[in-house]
Structure 1
Amino acid sequence: MWRERVVPAETEIFVAWREWPGERTVLAIHGGPDWDHSYLRDPLDRVACRLLMPDLRGCGRSGRVPEYHPDGVVEDLVRVLDAFEVERADVLGHSYGGMVAQRFAITHPSRVRSLVVAGSSVLPVPPDAFAGWAGRDEVLARQEDPWQRRDLSPEECVRAEAFAAAEANVRRPAAMPGYLRRLEEVRFGAEWVRQLPALVSPRLPDAARRIAGLGIPVLLLHGRLDMTFPAALVEPTLELIPRARAVVLEEAGHMLHVDEPEGFLRALREFLEGAAFHDGLELGRPRPV
């Protein structure tokens, strides 16, 4: 059963959370950033451990602040773990949240048991990363740009952009109707986009080397058809992080948990079970249905 809690911080942070037997906690960090956590709930809600899913500052039901910086987000996440009395968590981040997760691990290594970078990248994306991918060019050429319209508010533009990008983000046609219904439930905002172009990237310099130095288990979970963060960056990242492993879902795009939910869930479960084994803990067993 999902519960809700507001954690006091520099700004109030809304957290959807689910309890589970055992000592394991997954902290899931959403992307956008002007989205909320809800688009990640399924299939994460089938992971057999405690799950914390905050809305980042300025997003969803969390509070607003005058300025937005990834260091403030990281400190919010520390306060979330403190509020739930979690010493160390398995940290998963998707898309923008994947870069926040890396920053969190690098700056607060004592709070991170393992790291999952999903639909994101550790290495910077080069300008020519997608050169020669004609299918991607065709999809993006069909994508409408709501920011060219003057009749929409910034919040409406963020929402419209998410729907316009659906074809690029979800590659399996059978998954599209469910994804569009999922987007209908997202509380879109525009606090972060209003700060452009002054926003600071959450990606820290030399992140791969610094993550490798932490010595924690790392999972790179990616869609082969991701049109935002190229799957081609997975292999060079593995060469730089010896303890990392990777699972690339062949039929998935940027929203890999939507395109291939069972493959996503299987990869995550196997990784967490392996990390738990090396850490001397047990995951909570699934409850009978």
Structure 2
Amino acid sequence: MATQQIKHEPVSSIRAGDLEVGYIDSGSGVPLVLVHGGESDRTQFATLRAHLGAGIRAISYDQRDSGITVNPPVPYTPGDLADDLVALLDALGLERAHLLGTSFGGTVVQHAALRHPERVASLILVATTPSFALCPKTVDELFDMSHDDRQKAVADLFITPEGQAKLQTRAARTLAVRDPEKSGRRHDAARQHEIRDHLGEIAAPTLIVHGTEDLLAPYSGAALMEQRIPNAELRSIEGGRHGITMEFAEPIAGWVREFLGVAAA
């Protein structure tokens, strides 16, 4: 795996619908919105962003109860988070964008593709699932852990044994600190995710990237998405676990560029 310098991009905020949203906007070219996982924030994609190269405008943002985004303290659904994403596109003046979501972020972009198909140029679904019901009880156990215990657990869950020497600390740092109320709202939203019977309605071209040994979002869910989404292709990472956007950032970035039709960096 090649070493790539990770830059700390400047953070901005913007009014998007009823929210004040924190985001990072870097590069120029094809707009690609990066949607973070359930326990992370806009900074999750630092490693992947470093490999994306020229020709891609990469935008990552803080969902509700994440990072510096300010939202009302009320419950929400994956559909609400999908609407928030489209409100961000409006605020940024983007009629359409490509959406890459990992883990819980992948569920958000699935709902966006169903609720707002005209705004989605394509989907890239990484280490995600079409249904929370497919996830093992390990996910609920993680939800119930303290932040410190969760940081200790993610090394084995996110990174292969071969990659842990380099990436164990970085994996732990992708987890954002939240108070119990914010965590509870996000966990409740995650548990509502169920679109298996609607996968055939996703019209956007879809790239699915999944590790064959993902311990949080089973590979069977990726296979089901490839089978049911009309215009989908699956790229597998043999032995990969849940943190593939970090451990395998370089090949995934290459697949993303190829999928988006951006010339080799």
The TM-score with structure 1 as length reference comes to 0.76
CA distance in 1, matches of 2:245, 2:220: 19
2:61 pairs, out of 54, 69, 94, with 54
Query: Which residue is 2:37 aligned to?
Result: 31
Q: Return the offset for 1:147.
A: 4.7
1:6 pairs, out of 10, 13, 26, with 13
Q: Is it true that 1:167 corresponds to 2:167 in the alignment?
A: no
Distance change (3 Å), C-alpha of 1:165 and 1:178: closer
Deviation per CA, 1:258-277: give whole Å up to 9, x if none: 2322222222222122xxxx
CA distance in 2, matches of 1:104, 1:246: 20
Query: Which residue is 1:279 aligned to?
Result: none
CA distance in 2, matches of 1:44, 1:172: 24
Q: Is it true that 1:43 corresponds to 2:31 in the alignment?
A: no
Query: Which residue is 1:79 aligned to?
Result: 87
Amino acid at match of 1:167: D
CA distance in 2, matches of 1:159, 1:97: 22
Query: Which residue is 1:135 aligned to?
Result: none
Deviation per CA, 1:214-240: give whole Å up to 9, x if none: 2x2101100111001111233333222
Aligned residues: percent identity? 24
Q: Return the offset for 1:175.
A: 3.9
Q: Give yes or no for contact 2:64–2:70 (8 Å, CA) kept in 1.
A: yes
Larger radius of gyration: 1
CA distance in 2, matches of 1:205, 1:59: 27
User: Which piece of structure 1 moves more, 226-235 or 116-125?
Assistant: 116-125
Amino acid at match of 2:199: A
Q: Return the offset for 1:71.
A: 3.1
Distance change (3 Å), C-alpha of 1:145 and 1:126: closer
Q: Return the offset for 1:188.
A: 2.0
Distance change (3 Å), C-alpha of 1:198 and 1:121: closer
Q: Return the offset for 1:116.
A: 0.7
User: Which piece of structure 1 moves more, 158-167 or 253-262?
Assistant: 158-167
Q: Provide structure 1 residue ranges, at least 5 long, that are not aligned to the other structure.
A: 131-139, 149-156, 274-282
Distance change (3 Å), C-alpha of 1:226 and 1:108: same
Q: Is it true that 1:195 corresponds to 2:185 in the alignment?
A: yes
2:216 pairs, out of 204, 223, 228, with 228
Query: Which residue is 2:3 aligned to?
Result: none
Q: Give yes or no for contact 2:82–2:108 (8 Å, CA) kept in 1.
A: yes
Q: Give yes or no for contact 1:159–1:188 (8 Å, CA) kept in 2.
A: no
Is the partner of 1:87 in helix, strand or coil?
coil
Q: Is it true that 1:260 corresponds to 2:251 in the alignment?
A: no
Q: What is the aligned residue count?
A: 250
Deviation per CA, 1:105-145: give whole Å up to 9, x if none: 11011110000110002356447x79xxxxxxxxx7xxx97
Query: Which residue is 2:4 aligned to?
Result: none
Q: Provide structure 2 residue ranges, at least 5 long, that are not aligned to the other structure.
A: 1-6
CA distance in 1, matches of 2:13, 2:158: 31
CA distance in 2, matches of 1:267, 1:14: 27
Query: Which residue is 1:280 aligned to?
Result: none
Is the partner of 1:194 in helix, strand or coil?
helix
CA distance in 1, matches of 2:90, 2:68: 20
User: Which piece of structure 1 moves more, 81-90 or 91-100?
Assistant: 81-90
User: Which piece of structure 1 moves more, 198-207 or 216-225?
Assistant: 198-207
Q: Give yes or no for contact 2:125–2:209 (8 Å, CA) kept in 1.
A: yes
Is the partner of 1:251 in helix, strand or coil?
coil
CA distance in 2, matches of 1:269, 1:208: 24
